[in-house]
Each structure stands twice: as structure tokens, then as C-alpha cells.
């Protein structure tokens, strides 16, 4: 594959994944995390999650289409359930108002590693079985250029995360982070229920 073809494949993947993810739960989940934790550990955690998920999509995503629908839906339900658990645990944690204010205005008591791991877990769960992951797998199969497709998808996801981090810094002092976390957690729980129903009825 020539350089120009590889760049075209990368750009096509980037634009498609960006268009899919901008209105999707990825931006919302990252935004929620940036209202709770400092920006850099959140960005680090979600970046690693995106890198892993892009690699999985390129290497194994297409193969998932050959598995029984019930098994795929069960895995997706479990991962959405994990995302819901992480968000709701933070949303209903017994932090004092002073700790919430500290989280809004600057670095709070949460360590870099904990914030990064929480961010990784939430976004890893959110991206599993997501439209962008399926699109990445399909494009890798179509173009036969796993590196270009994987890189394009990763850069698109990082762009969405960057937008969410910037938005999170601007709205941190204007919203109640725990309420937003609870809302997102219940959304994830609803998606887990839907996926469970699909697994049962498949």
C-alpha cells in the first residue's frame, strides 16, 4: 500500500470515527470524569483505553461478527455494567461538600493513578461494542491496512477526549459533578439492561 493510500485510509477512518463519537457516550463519559478528577490523569487513562480498544478493534473486532449474537451481547452487557458501577460508585460516594468543591476548583484528594485507572475502566467499558469499534473493524477488513485504520481511529478518539477535557474545565464550576456522574451511570445501566435483553432474546 502506497503512502498516499495509507494517508487516505487514515483520514477516512479519522473522520468517520470522529463523526460517530462526537455525539456519543465517549464525550459524555470523559466530560463526567473531568468534572470529578484532574484533567491529565483522565486524559492519560482514556488515551490508554482508546489505544487498547483500537488495537482490539483492528485485530479482533471483525472476528467478533462470527461469534454467536448472544455471546457478544452478554460481553457488552457486562462491560456496560462495569461502566455503570464505576460511575455510580463515584456519584454516590460519601464525599463531603468541601471535597466536592476541591474537585471542582482544582486537584482533589484522588491520586493520579486512581483517577487514571478509573478513567481507563469507564472508557474501556464504554467503547466495547461501540459503533466506532465496529466501524474500525469493518474499515480494517475493507482496506487491509490495520495500522492506518487503527491510528486513524485512535487519533479521532483522542480528539474527542481533548474536546471533553476542555469542556470539563470550563463547566467544572457550573455543574454538580456527582449528579452528572449519577445520570451517566444510570444511562450506562440502561444500556447494560438493553444488551442483556438482546443476549436473552438472541
The per-residue pLDDT string of the chain (202 residues; one tens digit each, 9 = 90 and over) reads 567 888 898 998 898 888 777 767 777 788 888 878 888 999 999 999 999 989 988 886 556 556 677 776 776 677 667 767 866 887 777 654 444 443 444 444 678 899 999 999 888 887 776 777 777 877 776 777 788 889 999 999 999 888 888 876 666 556 566 776 677 678 778 877 887 887 788 6
Q: What pTM value is reported for the model?
A: 0.65
Smallest CA-to-CA distance from 165 within 46, 13, 14, 80 is with: 46
How many residues does the structure list for the chain? 202
How far is it, in rounded angstroms, from Cα 189 to Cα 202? 20
Measured in degrees and rounded to the nearest 5, phi and psi for residue 148 equal: -65, -45
> Could you tell me the CA-to-CA distances from 61 to 67, 86, 94, 137 in Å, in that order?
11, 25, 39, 5
How far is it, in rounded angstroms, from Cα 154 to Cα 13? 9
- 21-30 in b/e burial notation, b at 16+ Cβ within 10 A? beebbbbbbb
Amino acid at each position: 500500500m502506497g503512502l498516499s493510500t495509507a494517508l487516505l485510509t487514515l483520514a477516512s477512518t479519522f473522520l468517520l470515527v470522529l463523526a460517530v463519537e462526537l455525539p456519543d457516550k465517549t464525550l459524555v463519559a470523559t466530560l463526567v470524569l473531568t468534572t470529578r478528577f484532574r484533567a491529565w490523569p483522565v486524559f492519560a487513562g482514556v488515551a490508554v483505553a482508546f489505544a487498547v480498544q483500537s488495537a482490539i478493534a483492528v485485530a479482533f473486532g471483525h472476528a467478533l461478527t462470527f461469534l454467536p449474537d448472544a455471546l457478544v451481547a452478554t460481553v457488552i452487557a457486562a462491560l456496560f455494567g462495569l461502566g455503570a458501577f464505576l460511575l455510580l460508585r463515584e456519584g454516590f460516594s460519601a464525599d463531603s461538600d468541601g471535597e466536592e468543591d476541591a474537585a471542582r476548583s482544582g486537584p482533589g484528594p484522588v491520586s493520579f493513578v486512581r483517577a487514571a485507572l478509573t478513567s481507563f475502566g469507564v472508557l474501556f467499558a464504554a467503547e466495547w461494542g461501540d459503533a466506532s469499534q465496529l466501524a474500525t473493524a469493518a474499515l480494517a477488513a475493507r482496506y487491509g491496512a490495520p495500522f492506518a485504520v487503527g491510528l486513524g481511529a485512535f487519533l479521532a478518539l483522542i480528539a474527542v477526549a481533548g474536546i471533553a477535557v476542555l469542556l470539563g474545565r470550563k463547566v467544572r464550576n457550573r455543574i454538580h459533578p456527582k449528579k452528572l456522574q449519577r445520570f451517566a451511570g444510570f444511562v450506562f445501566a440502561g444500556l447494560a439492561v438493553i444488551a442483556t435483553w438482546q443476549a436473552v432474546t438472541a
